[in-house]
Amino acid sequence: MRLSFTASLTALALAFGLACAPAAHAQSKLKYAGVNLAGAEFNSSAKPGVVYKNYVYPTDTDFAYFADQGMNVIRLPFLWERLQPQAGATLDATQLSYIRTAVTRAKNHGLKIILDPHNYAKYNGQFIGSSSVPNAVFADLWRQLATAFANDDAVIFGLMNEPYSISATTWASAAQAGIDAIRATGAKNLVLVPGVAWTGAHSWNSSSAGGGVSNGDALAKLTDPANNLAYEVHQYMDAYYSGTSATCVSPTIGAEKLKGFTDWLRANGKVGFLGEFGAANNDTCMVALDGMLSYMESNRDVWLGWTYWAAGAWWNDSYMFSVQPDKAGNAKPQLAILADHARAITSAAKAVATRTAPPMMSQPALSKPATAAQAPVTAKTAAAVTTSKPVVQVAASVSMPKLVSASKPAAENPLVRAALRRWFATRDASTR
């Protein structure tokens, strides 16, 4: 099957001019491949919530499974308000211990881990940069996280998940505050910086999406004394780039929508990271998935890596993007493509590491936490989840019949989010 995908994509890439031959001769920066292990951010309306009832952190088995697929990085979404229940206060010791455990488990399996406050640039419903959540509050979160994980090479700092409804200029100021706070601790860890408008690659250069100034223009001005930044984008392949439909626009849509961002990276001497993308199990999307990954490989001089959305033990088997093995232990079809590309990337990265660095000492494995009954969950996508709580059935006219939590904040409700994305995509800068 992989051969048929590759052959199809190659022909389409030639037809659309997506291949980038010059990059093949440039120094490769592409070294990370992995998945999002979702769960700790679930049920965001339950603050702080109860672990293994409202939310869950990944088990050692989760990390082991994806390491066995040739992957070397995990993105770990979590909820800011759980980690820091009061703005500016000391981080919650229990939540920090959960994150520390996840970091140790990742390292035990040779994985890097991206810490991802999955908050859409908000804290308790108020946007970063507002009078309720000034940049200093955001900076304090990262000051404390950086202190906890300073210079741990396995830990990558993802500043924020998918800022939206704030301008690129406002977000750039907040991002700089976060970077400054991290570097003030002495931490030199890699930092991933997203853009606004849900950090879509397709809208990176759009001044309308950025509120008058594009992500590219606003964020290119960021400074980092450690010179260890990468720019994070997300890209879904449905008509509105929302991640709420099993339909992909075309077999080449993934590669096409990365091109403008890729050009920006190269023109500005930056590197990029694809933090979220997903594909349903159908012919068009599977070819598009393969093509998106192949495109990054063809442009490895400016791409650092990727994490697929999503895995995690609390996804229903029916969730269209899930690559968590099903209840019988069977692998999802998308995983064959992901693992193929991951092994190509990580084997090359290991070869380079072997030539340039001494071996790392292994750490003792942690015991697996006791299994608890799974509770209803709410995720950023409209996944069908097993639930005993009231839910609202999506209207039959919607192409993907899923269950959406009735308590989900409107702009994180995937259907509302899709509508907002359509609105932002068509709205003129003068109306923002």
Catalytic residue ranges: 162, 276
3-class secondary-structure state, position 185: coil
Q: Tell me, what amino acid is at 287?
A: V
- CA-angle at 101, arms to 100 and 104, nearest 5°: 85
CB of 180 closer than 8 Å to CB of 400: no
Cβ within 8 Å of residue 195, ≥6 positions away: 163, 168, 171, 204, 210, 215, 216, 218, 219, 231, 233
3-class secondary-structure state, position 37: strand
Beta strands in 321-402 (DSSP E): 391-393
Integer Cα distance of 62 and 42 in angstroms = 17
Cβ within 8 Å of residue 257, ≥6 positions away: 201, 202, 235, 237, 241
The number of residues in the chain equals 432
Q: Tell me, what amino acid is at 77?
A: P
- Give the pair of three-digit tokens for residue 66: 């994806």
3-class secondary-structure state, position 426: helix
Task: Kindly report whether the peptide bond that precedes residue 48 is cis, defined as omega within 30 degrees of 0.
Answer: yes
CB of 271 closer than 8 Å to CB of 303: yes
Integer Cα distance of 241 and 234 in angstroms = 9
